[in-house]
Structure 1
């Protein structure tokens, strides 16, 4: 009976040790995934900042006016070309 109890306790200690090892392994795997996702988040934030700067550059009034004149042939109307519509 005493030998059985000793073997039972030894088995419980061994299974507890295996559970601790598995728990640490899952923790490390989770930490590695967290680090990868944080790095991806940082890269996406940098790309977002670049895109915001690019959008601001492309939407500047001088740039829009330049494209309207050169590519679309638009111009400001002369005095005689302005028509006022009244309701």
Structure 2
């Protein structure tokens, strides 16, 4: 009788171990798929960040700022006679 009980326990342990392995592999595959998706999103965000940095650098160039100041805002450098030096 004890031999049958031992054999039944071993079979149950074997089946339980197999189910645990299947569950662990399934979880691993799901996590790996999520990691791959998140890495792809990260790469897309890195590309977008690079584009935005390039756009910011383009808009911040001094000749671009000077052009906008002259055309849109009507700004100009003061003439020599318009400059007043204030002394303490």
Q: TM-score range, shorter-chain basis? A: over 0.9
RMSD: 0.7
Counterpart position of 1:41? 42
Is 1:10 the equivalent of 2:22?
Answer: no
> Partner of 1:50 in structure 2?
51
Detail structure 1 runs of 4+ shifted over 4 Å in the superposition.
none
What CA distance in whole angstroms lies between the structure 1 residues aligned with 2:68 and 2:52? Answer: 20
Gap regions ≥5 residues in structure 2: none
User: TM-score normalised to the size of structure 1?
Assistant: 0.96
**TM-score, normalisation: structure 2:** 0.95
